[in-house]
Structure 1
Amino acid sequence: MSDGKELSERMDALEARVMYQDDTIEVLNQTITAQWREIDALKRQIALLYERLEEAQPAGPPAPVDEPPPHY
């Protein structure tokens, strides 16, 4: 009869471990989902800033920095 009780205790322990693992997996899934959303938002922000940077740059070739003024 003790074999049946021992088997039942082992099954209870395994069920408790599975429940704990299921909870852990769900928490990790929620964390990963939130991180992906944040990564997507950051990618969109970077793309927008890159577009603004491209628009702010002059269209022609850059002016020489050390060019003397025209009155010399």
Structure 2
Amino acid sequence: MSTLENRVNELEAKIAFQDETIEILNDELKTHQKLISKIQRQTELLAEKVKESQSSDFGSEQQIEPPPPHY
């Protein structure tokens, strides 16, 4: 019985360690997911600003610059 009890105790210890490890990894995963979401939103906002900037620059360039002489 002693060996069986030792094996059960060892398995319980391993399970407890695995539970703790899984909880730590889950917390890290949550943190990284929040960071990824934030970075994605910032990238979307930056892309919108670049697109707006390009469209406004394109429109203003056409109005400011006269067409080339060969037109």
Normalising by the smaller structure, the TM-score range is: 0.7 to 0.9
- Which whole-Å CA distance do the structure 2 matches of 1:6 and 1:56 have between them? 74
Counterpart of 2:2 in structure 1: which amino acid?
Answer: K
Q: From the two aligned structures, give the one with the greater helix fraction.
A: 2
Moved over 3 A (4+): none
> Alignment length, in residue pairs?
63
What's 1:30 paired with? 27
RMSD of equivalent CA atoms: 2.3
One-letter amino acid of the counterpart of residue 56, structure 1? S
Write out aligned runs for 1:1-72 (5 A): 4-57=1-54, 58=56, 59-60=58-59
The separation in 2 between residues aligned to 1:19 and 1:48, in whole angstroms, is 44
What is the TM-score of this pair, normalised by structure 1? 0.76
Gaps of 5+ in 1: none
Structure index of larger Rg: 1
Q: Which residue identity does 1:35 align to in structure 2?
A: H
Tell me the percent identity: 37
SS in 1 for 2:26: helix
TM-score w.r.t. length of structure 2: 0.77
